[in-house]
């Protein structure tokens, strides 16, 4: 997911994420997983505020990249009770 710089801070990312989570719950999925670059603190904060937790080891964005990604997971069954 990516939001244009001029549109950031307007709640677009939150709205997209909320829509994805609602769709996943409605579809009956157990988890939502994603990867986020470790330098994107705003995205990490957004995901954490929605209940995502980091898991696994850091991975290269692509082979030979100096940029790392963190895997994150939201356990939907736990949220629903």
pLDDT averages per 10-residue partition of the chain, 81 residues: 92 96 96 96 96 96 94 83 55
Sign for the pseudo-dihedral over CA of 15, 16, 18, 23: positive
Could you tell me the pTM of the whole model? 0.87
Sheet holding 53-60, edge to edge: 31-37, 68-75, 53-60
């Amino acid at each position: 997911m990516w939001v244009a710089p001029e549109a950031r801070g307007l709640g677009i990312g939150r709205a997209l994420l909320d829509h994805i989570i609602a769709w996943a719950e409605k579809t009956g999925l157990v988890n939502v997983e994603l990867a986020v670059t470790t330098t994107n603190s705003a995205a990490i904060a957004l995901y954490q505020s929605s209940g995502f937790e980091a898991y696994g080891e850091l991975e290269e964005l692509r082979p030979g990249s100096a940029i790392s990604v963190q895997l994150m997971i939201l356990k939907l069954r736990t949220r629903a009770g």
